[in-house]
Structure 1
Amino acid sequence: MTAPPTPLLEVRDVHRSFGDVRALDGVSLTIAENEFFALLGPSGCGKTTLLRAIAGFEHPDGGAVLLGGDDLLALPPNRRPVNLMFQSYALFPHLSVASNVAYGLKREKLPKREIAERVADVLATVGLSGMADRRPAQLSGGQRQRVALARAIVKRPRLLLLDEPLSALDRKVRAEMQLELKRLQHEVGITFVVVTHDQEEAMSMADRIAVLAEGRVQQVASPLELYRHPANLFVADFIGTSNRLAGTYDGATFAADGFGPLPSGAQRTSVTGRAHLVVRPEDVRLVAGGAGILEGTVTDTQFQGGTSTVAVDVPGIEAPFLVTEPGSTEAVRGTSVGLVWEHAVVVGEELT
């Protein structure tokens, strides 16, 4: 039997309020050594407050934060073996790339030779060896992001916290840096905890993701588990695109409002009573009109390169029912079609 991964960071029942607003409402998490972990959720869900509490810039009203079993909250920010990479990168414009990266090491009064060696090593790791003498203004957005990352990891923290690290980059560079961050995390062997509101970003980089809403953890799981088996309606809506139907579930059969029993497959849920059936667009197939589980009319088609999205108007369902097909689609606007699926998930309405 495989042993569970060694926990590095433990967050236990952490609370933090600002006046009447509960930013963190009993948050508990365990993050493993060398894990790439994402805190994901909409603005105001508490993810940045949690990151700042780990870094030492916020002090929780209650709870505990342990790093390797040691009480992290007892240490001031500058004595925690933790580094926080800010969203703005916060580079010194008058310093060269090498001097920006070396800044924290010089503050620690390390020997000049050791500083030079560590800076050279980390610039090679992030692919900036030939730009050591440039100023930040001479770099692209992606290159400045690499400098900020190099400065964060050159001090060899046990834990690196990243607050929306890619939000300032354009779409193409952001996609490239997502892959780069994952590669670097494996290469340097440091636990990364990244805060993001972008579910695609979290899904592409993280080993596990904690989805937060209203200061509480809704689910912690791998990207695939979150997508295929969301814990509730909030997670299902926040992670990816979904079709959903309201109804009731008795533990065996889902009965949709206005449609009656619909196929839901084997479920991993204890939900009974009011519930929603969640069907992902790629799990839906178009069939001839009159042969589907549901029937509707094609209202729109969109070609996105590798896939096509077909929108179907189903009487009795307010939002269009979406279908994802590989390549181009043969569906034609205005035609009657049937919809069938084999995989669906029953979820409850309430937040945890």
Structure 2
Amino acid sequence: MTETLVRIDAISRRFGEVRALEHVSLEIRQGEFFALLGPSGCGKTTLLRILAGFEHPDSGSVTLDGADLLAVPPHRRPVNLMFQSYALFPHMSVAKNIAYGLERERLPKAEIRERVDAVLTTVGLTGLARRRPNQLSGGQRQRVALARAIVKRPRLLLLDEPLSALDKKVRAEMQLELKRLQHEVGITFVVVTHDQEEAMSLADRIAVLSEGRVRQIDAPVPLYERPADLFVADFIGANNLVTGVAAADGLHVPGVGVLPCPVPADAVGAGATLVIRPERVRLAADGSSAGGLAGVVRDVTFFGGTTRVAVQVTGLDRPLLATVSGATTVAVGEQTRLAWSVGDAMLLGPG
């Protein structure tokens, strides 16, 4: 297994009555792309600022390669932070922006020139070295900010909502570019984002935070398929959540019936929530197949490659969602049936 680069142990931070972080512990491995994901106010940016040295925790420890990182002043940490705004100097050329940190370190001019040229090639900006930031597109400015961060060869690169200022198409292109760069330069990346798709597409592992606590740390696929609790299930992607009472044959929902799902023996008789992804739900015309839940189509949304259908089932307080490939023939107001395989659903407790 890849060795641990950063170990965060029981970090807590409060701002007056606001609990930003509460006993947060996690490990970041050498060379991985790690994401801190959660809604606004969950503590992810505070944790990033602690790593960068702009905040100090009330308690807990942070080590990098086994050494106390909190004892090192920000400017001496082998850590670099790429700001959300990119913070480029408007009066400097691309090359000068990238070289700025190296010049502050008073490195030899020949070494600075060599390292700037190399990183310009890495980020694909060789032909734009003499341009000013206002002559660049949003994606190009982001590449300059990245180049300026990695040219100093930090052990750890922190990215605060790095793609939020870009439009959807450029953001998708830069997600691929970030992944390529991270593998090419071999630096450990930690990205803060509230965008689930961004975290899932970029990260090797993701820590989901809520109200200052870590709810789950996992790779994207198990995080999506096996959420640890209801918060993660509801936050990561679209999910159908139905509450009821667990029984040996499934989840009993008053006024609806028994919904198929695996039920652990120790859960029988307890309140629980069934979780089923929309892409696991099958649609069938009413009466064309036995079983399943009957309902009325309330909405049909076509996304190009897929269609999401919302079906209102009597007895449920909100429609169930089904995602089907391509277009669908069902229309709003029609009767339909929903079904899924037992193994595609899971039960989560109320906590």
Specify if TM > 0.5: yes
Partner of 1:293: 292
Q: Bigger CA drift: 255-264 or 96-105?
A: 255-264
Contact residue 248 and residue 263 of structure 2 kept, 8 A: no
Would the alpha carbon gap of residues 21 and 251 (structure 1) be closer, same or farther in structure 2, given more than 3 Å must change? Answer: farther
Q: Within 1, Cα distance between the matches of 2:74 and 2:324?
A: 50
Partner of 1:328: 327
Q: Which amino acid aligns with 1:192?
A: F
Contact residue 269 and residue 346 of structure 1 kept, 8 A: no
Q: Within 1, Cα distance between the matches of 2:72 and 2:266?
A: 41
Q: Within 2, Cα distance between the matches of 1:185 and 1:272?
A: 49
Task: Give the Å deviation of 1:266.
Answer: 6.7
Task: In structure 1, list runs of 5 or more residues that go unmatched.
Answer: none
| 1:344 maps onto 2:345 in alignment | yes
Identity percentage of aligned residues: 65
Q: Which amino acid aligns with 2:74?
A: P
Partner of 1:51: 48
Q: Within 2, Cα distance between the matches of 1:49 and 1:182?
A: 24
TM-score scaled to structure 2, two decimals? 0.95
Contact residue 204 and residue 220 of structure 2 kept, 8 A: yes
Q: Within 2, Cα distance between the matches of 1:283 and 1:339?
A: 10
What CA RMSD, in Å, does the superposition of the two structures yield over aligned residues?
A: 1.7
Q: Within 1, Cα distance between the matches of 2:248 and 2:107?
A: 63
Q: Which amino acid aligns with 1:330?
A: T
Would the alpha carbon gap of residues 149 and 45 (structure 1) be closer, same or farther in structure 2, given more than 3 Å must change? Answer: same
Q: Which residue among 137, 141, 160 is the counterpart of 1:140?
A: 137
Q: Aligned ranges for residues 146-295 of structure 1 at < 5 Å?
A: 146-249=143-246, 253-265=250-262, 273-290=270-287, 291-295=290-294
Q: Runs of at least 4 residues of structure 1 off by over 4 A?
A: 266-272
Partner of 1:41: 38
Render the CA deviation track for 1:210-238: whole Å, top value 9, x for unaligned: 00000000000111111110111110111
Q: Bigger CA drift: 267-276 or 165-174?
A: 267-276
Partner of 2:19: 22
Q: Aligned ranges for residues 55-70 of structure 1 at < 5 Å?
A: 55-70=52-67
Contact residue 271 and residue 348 of structure 1 kept, 8 A: no
Q: Within 2, Cα distance between the matches of 1:112 and 1:140?
A: 29
Task: Give the Å deviation of 1:251.
Answer: 7.9
2:298 is paired with a residue of what secondary structure?
strand
Render the CA deviation track for 1:99-156: whole Å, top value 9, x for unaligned: 0000000000000000000000001000000000000000000000000000000000
Q: Which amino acid aligns with 1:126?
A: V
TM-score scaled to structure 1, two decimals? 0.95
Q: Which amino acid aligns with 2:38?
A: G
Q: Which amino acid aligns with 2:298?
A: T
Contact residue 271 and residue 347 of structure 1 kept, 8 A: no
Task: In structure 2, list runs of 5 or more residues that go unmatched.
Answer: none
Contact residue 246 and residue 263 of structure 2 kept, 8 A: no
